[in-house]
Amino acid sequence: MISQSDDARSESDVGSHLVTVRDMISRACEAAGRDGSTAQLVAVSKTHDIARIRPALVAGQRVFGENRVQEAAGKWPALRTEYPRIVLHLIGPLQTNKVKQAIEIFDVIETIDREKLARAVARELERSERSMPVFIQVNTGEEPQKAGVFPANVDAFVTLCRGTLGLDVQGLMCIPPVDEEPALHFALLRKLAARNGLKGLSMGMSGDFETAITFGATHVRVGSAIFGDRPLKGS
């Protein structure tokens, strides 16, 4: 009984948090002189179960982010049968042996971060006669433990992906180092995208999505500000 009422309360929180985040996005867009709908909210539902995701769907949210192929495969096919027009972004690392499954489950891959993966995705899309928007992940902080193309290699990698491999590259994505001023990384990502003629900028999370919008984010990936804390930190 107690856990049921807790669930009910936390689920209604998801709806109200979503309203708050959407409002903050609109204000940040307006403050930056942009139309309120020019930054798309990717609601990051990783680690949260279907019961917690549903209130976001009920509140009209349709664009979601997940970081694990297996986890997404367990949650989203069922939800897609209930709610139309769901757009699912993969925002976590992708192993080449999961490419086929990822392409079946996701609508957008944000984490193209190396040549081997880019080639595997291109091959699988061709084989399945599909096309899919992708983002290239940039390791703006050049952190050794983090995925992503280094800034110095972005131009050549974009050329490979767009040209040679024919991928539908929509833009760039980054996750700034936790201990640095994110604005510097957002500005760098914007510069790298602009000089490659790319319009999409996936940047900004719960703590810094308003700043990211100031720097031109077209997609903000917001998890904990909507769904609350995740069971395991960093997962």
Ligand X SMILES: *Cc1c(COP(=O)(O)O)cnc(C)c1O
Q: Which residues bind ligand X (CB under 6 A)?
A: 44, 46, 67, 91-92, 175, 205-206, 221-225
Return the exposure string of 113-137: e unless at least 16 CB atoms fall within 10 Å of the residue's CB, then b. bbbebbbbbbebbeeeeeebbbbbb
Least distance CB 194 / ligand X (angstroms): 22
Least distance CB 176 / ligand X (angstroms): 10
Closer CB to ligand X, 46 or 190, in the complex: 46
Q: What is the token pair recorded at 177? A: 């180092």
Least distance CB 222 / ligand X (angstroms): 5
Q: How far apart are CA 175 and CA 113, in angstroms?
A: 12
Closer CB to ligand X, 156 or 178, in the complex: 178
Closer CB to ligand X, 38 or 224, in the complex: 224
Burial (CB < 10 A; 0-12, 13-18, 19+), residue 9, is: exposed
Do the beta carbons of residue 193 and residue 200 sit within 8 Å? yes
Closer CB to ligand X, 91 or 154, in the complex: 91
Supply the DSSP symbol for 152.
G
Least distance CB 94 / ligand X (angstroms): 12
Closer CB to ligand X, 41 or 193, in the complex: 41
Least distance CB 125 / ligand X (angstroms): 22
Q: How far apart are CA 131 and CA 116, in angstroms?
A: 18
Residue least distant from ligand X (Cβ): 223
